[in-house]
Amino acid sequence: MKRQLIAIFIISVLFATSGCWNRRELNTLAIIMAIGIDKAPEDGKIKLTTQVLKPDEIKAPAATGGQGSPKGVWVLTSTGHTIFDAYRNATMQSDRKLYNSQTKVIVISEEMARAGVRPILDFFDRDHELRRLSWLLIAKGEAKDIIEAEHEQEKIPAQAIESLVTASGATSMAVTVNLHEFLKMLANKATDPFASRIEIIAEEETEKKAAKKPKPEESQQNGPRKRMRLTGAAVFKDDKLAGWLNRPETRGLNWILGKVKSGIIIVKSPKDENQYVALEIIRASSKIIPEIRDGQVTITVEVEEEGNLGEQMSDVDLTTPEYFDSLERRQATVIKNEIAAVLRKAQKEWGTDIFGFGDAIHRKFPREWKKLEKKWDTEFSQIEVKVKVISTLKRFGLHTAPAGTKRE
Amino acid sequence: MFHKTGQILSRLIKQWSPNKPRPAADQNEPLSSSIQVNLNKISSVFANASDLVIRQLQIGTREQTEAFVVYLDGLVEKTIVNDNILEPLTLELRQAQANGGVSRKRVLALIKKQVLSVGQVKEATTVQAVIDAVLSGETVIVIDGSAVALVANTRGWETRGVQEPPTESVVRGPREGFTETLRTNTALLRRKIKNINLKLETMKIGKQTKTDVCIAYLKGIVNDKLVEEVKRRLAEIDTDSILESGYIEQFIEDAPYSFLPTVGNTEKPDIAAAKLLEGRIVILTDGTPFALTVPYLFMEAFQSSEDYYSRPFYSTIVRWIRFTAFFLSVFSPAIYVALTTFHPEMLPPALLISMAAAREGTPFPAIVEALGMGVIYEILREAGIRLPKPIGQAVSIVGALVIGESAVTAGLIGAPMVIVISITAIASFVVPAISDVTAVMRLILTVMAGIFGQYGIMMAVAGILTHMVSLRSLGVPYLSPLAPTNIPDLKDVLIRAPWWAMSTRPRVIGWHRPVRQKFHLKPEPPSDTNRDRT
Amino acid sequence: MLEDGRITDRQFMLLIIVSRLILSLTYLPALNSPPENQDVWIAGLLSFPVHLLLAVPAYLLAQRFKDRSIIQSAELILGKTGKIIGALYVWFFLHMTALTLRQLSCYLTSVPYPETPAPVFIIVTALFAALAVGYGVETICRTGEIMTPVVMFSIFVVIILIAKDMDLKALAPMLEKGIAPVLHGALTIAARTVEILFVTMLLPYLNQPGTAKKAMAWGIFFFIFFFTIITVSIITTFDVEQAINRTFPFFSTVRLISIGEFLERIDAVHLGIWILGLFIKISIYYYLTALGAAQLFNLQDYRPIVLPLGTIIVSLSVLQAENMVELREFTSYKVWTWYALFFITFLPLILLVVAVLRRREVQAR
């Protein structure tokens, strides 16, 4: 026993003195929080923009000055033939080794996405530092602008983006897709993937735009301060970006997938068609039921929704059975319209099965699927989709009618 | 291999060295019937012993007999010597002789049977016996014309009273602790277990110190083979001195090369009694309040006497707190080093950011910080223990200020490291019985973590674990009842079952008579009929 | 006797579980074996009877020669030829040790320690394993007794934490390719259970040899139970297409755990438990190698040859495969199944038949 102990001791000493291969102190790492991928101006090269943490700035207390507090991150740009190459090239500018495991946000530019994302994503799934839990976002425009954008509340913009993603459930007008989910959809032969869409809005425009419906965003403004907004969805055909979904369409997608968590449904008041009523979504679920009859494929989407009366602007007491019934019907119509909008775009315009209809057929009718599989691309646009919405209203809040409402 | 050479060596040493040191006089020789010879012998043996008292007397009236009383001042109860030996010898013997008249030959029996009012009186026939008796605090009466001396037990010396021990303090439970006096300690045990089966076998160990060592066990519960084994190991001790039970511990332990203790110790009679009742053996040593208990299993470190006195729910929680504290104190510096230098990807993002911020600008690598802080902590602890209490507190204040404040603000070390070391230190106080073990384990783990990170920690754990399961304490597997698993015994390890459910003793120890009490002792409310009437 | 330790039937069972199960926490070649789709878990369940069938010759042989390991009984049955069979088994255990060491180092250098040379891990682990081997079978089994429940518990915890990401729809359609590939898959899974051979080596050290049958069956049952929930969790979180592409499927699954903002990145714990479990596996095969070699050469003690064998194991471990692709190819079902079956079932069957024909019984000691 003693001899073995001595041997172990000697070998430990050898290892200790010959250097520790994987040792890296925290203060020798450049911790990446977010990365953006763009097409480089050079031919076929990739431009990588990384948001690197500056620990010193994070540590510094607010004493340094409230308003002009320094940025907590440093943005670094490099190019390379592959992503990994670009990473290593970035080390030439940074005195520390880029460290990838905390990357929370991966932003891919529209241009890159249109060219196909499969080559880009290989590195992120192969490398052991990254996790598949990073959020995947497609930038409307350049990814670099998103990475460079600042946020008022968070010192680390990547954390702000992450919070934007997790908070998007409040409207359900954006999709939240992490790398894991995206790759799963990409790997599935029947399903086409989709991802979150992020865009830059100029600060001064924020107020003006709030009321209007967002038009297709123009281009990035070169104002001093940029803000980002997470809205809508980017839809892929296989690994190539096919197009964008606007907000109602995105919620339509979420309805079908049963991913609506919360949100507001705006309907016209049954009493006064000029006034709006806001119905809050409490919970929703969906079922995709495929059917094959005489070789004809039918998909039934069943959406169940439960809501509350959250706000109303008309001058009437809506808490009567008749009004509630009519509100429920209006609510169902809005949901149906949103679903129809996204179905039209996906089926007719792009022919991308982002809903997993093909997958549902595969699971339920494995034999028939073998025949369908090859021609699914064309078949998908042809299939009939029935939408069934069961929507209910449950509660109406702390008062029944606005102050001073006349009784009928 | 080492074991064998060791045996051969010790055998050789035994052959070469004389069995006992031989002073000038042959001490095995019998007492002479001449008082003068005896007196000379004794005083020559005890030459230069200023605490020796030899009181020469003439006893009797009609036939005056020369006699002397010898004892060591300070080892005897003076009042007993005065009132119960000297006074009867000088006064009452005179009256006895006045009444009947006693021949010189019968005077010895008379003194023994009628005169001495002392509890225990023996006879000694050799010089050696007299010397041993005097040395152990007895009073020897030598009478002219008799080759037999009387030995009266007058032991009584200045002792510390039975006090609350500074270690193992409890909120609920007996407060008395063992003292330095063997007899007091056996009495404390006997008072807990009033049973003839409580055997207390005494032997003397140590050529110079001749320390009384007492093996206590409960016959019928203990495994007799274990008792034989303990006796054999104790008998093999051939050393100069036993000043504390720690000496014995190192002579009888199973794994002398291991950093893990295979002999337990306690300062409290209630704990010792509980161990006896589980079938363990307690070794009491004169001169120290620390009693040894064997067999000693690793899991005993997590049991405290108070667990058994308070109700089972909180005791179970506390036991798990101790496990947690043990793991914290062993693992936290190693995990900190591994995480910050090898696996930053394992840290949650928010934690990594604040840790990276704290590590920014610190000059030393994490492993150096961990080892350095560990050493400083041990220094502070040692200083705090050894110094007189008021200064000890000052040390801890200075230490806390220097380490906690200055080092961090000066940017010498990162604040997280201070937190880690503090947690480690506090956690190691929760399991005080094995705080030395945790320190060694912590060191091994931290060094391995510094070399290999997580893999190093796990290899060290594997090494320590295999070492621990390979140990035995007097034949009992050290990690039992965890490995080999003994599910009934886990009732007192992973939880502390209520007393009515602890029907069996630990099987690995009291294996041949495991039943402690009746089953179905759970208290029940009185039946309904009774309730109606009252 | 070479070994005076005694092990209990529970230790024997737990040893089988941990030794067979632990590699499935990282490498899971079953996902790349037939049926190679979402039916792998069915193949796992069906492999239970296949396991038992494959174990019959080894068990009967061990029962027939209760006090002898397969290496000793082969010599008794076949004489000089038996020595060759004994040598084959020593080689097999040696190869298992080397292979497991290699798999350990491959994983470590792929994920947490990309810059460290692989031999470092092989040598250090082999040294610590040698320490355990020196302590004897009792110590290895007791370490297993402590660690196996921890491994099983950690799998449960992972499954509970990942449950919200599991999509049971991914298991449909069942039996997509029919039953034949699933049965083939069951055979490949069972052929990986080299632990069946434990009974031929360790039966003499069981304190109640009669319980070996039950312990083996329960060990295999528990392994299959955990194997099934592992494969189900992988397939349901990743879908088949992604699952069969993973190098370390269950490890990837653990990395997906994220509950709230704080309970994530628990792969460190997983890694630690995996290393400890694998340490037990390496130790027991290392021990069997040393014990077998000592029995083959009629040595008095196996301990002096532990370190020399270690050098062979380490070199074999380093040299046996050029790179990870070769390692993967060798452990794939096409090669491994037949290689292992030869030792697990074929050789014991031959020995058993010859023993019955020649009426060789247990000889009184």
Residues of chain A neighbouring C172 (CB-CB closer than 8 A): 363-364
State how far residue B282 is from chain A, nearest Cα, in angstroms. Answer: 31
What's the whole-number mean pLDDT along residues C75-84? 89
d(CA C9, CA C20): 17
pLDDT-based confidence at residue A222 (cuts at 50, 70, 90): very low
State whether residue A363 sits within 8 Å of chain C by CB.
Answer: yes
- Of B46, B66, B31, nearest to B151 by C-alpha is B31
* Cα B43 to Cα B33: distance, rounded to the nearest angstrom: 16
Which tens digits make up the pLDDT trace of B171-181? 888 989 999 98
Which tops the pLDDT comparison, B510 or C187?
Answer: C187
Kindly report the average pLDDT of chain A as a whole number: 85
Considering only CB atoms, B469 lies closest to which of C124, C139, C279, namely C139
Question: Do the chains contact at B355 and A26, CB–CB below 8 Å?
Answer: yes
CA distance C305 to A23: 35
Q: Which of A258, A275, A237, A246 is nearest to A338 (CA)?
A: A246
Q: What local confidence, expressed as pLDDT, does residue A65 receive?
A: 43
Give me the interface pTM, i.e. the ipTM.
Answer: 0.92
Q: Identify the bridge partners of residue A267 per DSSP, sorted by sequence position.
A: A277
Mean pLDDT of A258-281: 89
- Nearest-CA residue of chain C relative to B448? C124
Percent of chain A with pLDDT over 70: 87
Comparing CB atoms, the residue among C110, C117, C134 nearest residue A1 is: C134
d(CA B179, CA B176): 9
Q: Is B457 on the interface with C (CB under 8 A)?
A: yes
Contact C128 A8 (CB under 8 A): yes
Give the pLDDT mean for C299-322.
92
Residues 5-24 (A) with a CB less than 8 A from some CB of C: 7-8, 11, 15, 21-22
d(CA A228, CA A163): 12
Provide the pairing of β-strand A29-39 with A105-109.
parallel
d(CA B378, CA A10): 26
Cis peptide before B295 (omega within 30 of 0): yes
Do B60 and B67 contact (CB within 8 A), yes or no? no
Tokens 């005494």 correspond to: B202
Q: How far, in Å, CA of B371 to CA of B348, rounded?
A: 25
A21/C115 touch (CB, cutoff 8 Å), yes or no: yes
Question: Dmax over Cα atoms in chain A, in whole Å?
Answer: 99
Residue whose C-alpha is closest to residue A166's, from A177, A182, A179: A177
Q: What digits encode the pLDDT tens for the residues A94-119?
A: 888 888 888 889 999 999 999 999 99
On whether any CB of chain A is under 8 Å from the CB of B30, the answer is no
Looking at residues C326-351, what average pLDDT do you find? 91
Task: List the one residue out of A305, A338, A284, A302 whose CA is nearest residue A169.
Answer: A284
Could you tell me the two tokens for A348?
A: 């007719």
DSSP state at residue B492:
G
Residues of chain B where predicted confidence (pLDDT) is lower than 70:
1-27, 61-63, 96-105, 510-512, 528-534
Structure tokens that stand for A105 in this block? 């946000």
Listed range (B367-381, C15-29, C229-243) with the worst mean pLDDT: B367-381
Q: What is the dihedral of CA A115, A120, A122, A123, to 10 degrees?
A: 170
- Give residue-wise pLDDT tens across range C31-56: 888 888 889 999 999 999 999 999 99
Interval C118-142 mean pLDDT: 92
Measure Cα distances from B174 to B169, B194, B283 in Å: 9, 17, 21
Across the strands, what pairs with B212? Answer: B204
CA distance A60 to chain C (A): 24
Q: Identify all chain B residues contacting A154, using CB atoms and an 8 Å cutoff.
A: none
Q: How confident is the model at residue C364 (pLDDT cuts 50, 70, 90)?
A: very low
Residue A310 vs residues A6, A327, B185, C40: alpha-carbon distances, Å = 75, 12, 79, 49
d(C-alpha C341, C-alpha C56), whole Å:
13
Q: Do A11 and C123 touch (CB under 8 A)?
A: yes
What is the DSSP code (8-state) at residue A95? Answer: S
Contact B235, B204 (CB under 8 A): no
Say if residue B238 is exposed, middle or buried (CB neighbours under 10 Å; 0-12, 13-18, 19+): middle
| pLDDT for position B501 | 87
Q: How far apart are CA B287 and CA B182, in angstroms?
A: 7
Query: Would you call A364 an interface residue with chain C, using a CB distance cutoff of 8 Å?
Result: yes
Percent of chain B with pLDDT over 70: 90
Higher pLDDT, C284 or B9: C284
Check residues A151 and C23 and name the one with the higher pLDDT: C23
pLDDT of residue A214: 44
Per-position b or e across A322-344, b if 16+ CB within 10 A of its CB:
ebbebbbebbbebbbebbebbbe
Q: Which long-range contacts (CB under 8 A, 24 or more apart) does B175-181 make?
A: B176/B268, B176/B269, B177/B267, B177/B268, B177/B269, B177/B289, B178/B267, B178/B268, B178/B269, B178/B272, B178/B284, B178/B289, B178/B290, B178/B291, B179/B289, B180/B286, B180/B287, B180/B288, B180/B289, B181/B286
Note the pLDDT tens digit of each residue in A166-219.
Answer: 888 888 899 999 999 999 999 988 899 999 999 988 765 555 554 444 444 443
With beta carbons less than 8 A apart as the criterion, state whether C41 and C171 touch: yes
Average pLDDT over residues C135-164: 93
Domain annotation for chain A: domains and CATH numbers: 25-245 (no CATH), 247-408 (3.30.300.210)
Question: Per CB distance under 8 Å, which residues of A are interface residues toward B?
Answer: 1-2, 8, 12, 15-16, 20, 22-27, 29, 31, 53, 55-56, 58-59, 99, 101-102, 104, 129, 156
Provide the edge-to-edge strand list for the sheet that holds B198-205: B198-205, B211-218, B281-285, B291-294, B264-266
Q: Determine the pLDDT at residue B133.
A: 87
Residue-wise pLDDT tens digits, A300-341 = 999 999 999 999 888 888 888 998 999 999 999 999 999 999
In chain C the domains, ranked by start, together with CATH numbers, are: 9-358 (1.20.1740.10)
| Lookup: tokens for A292 | 């094959």
Q: Is B150 in the A-facing interface, judged by CB distances under 8 Å?
A: no
Mean pLDDT of C115-140: 91
For A20, the closest of B355, B451, B463 (CB atoms) is B451
A55/C140: higher pLDDT: C140
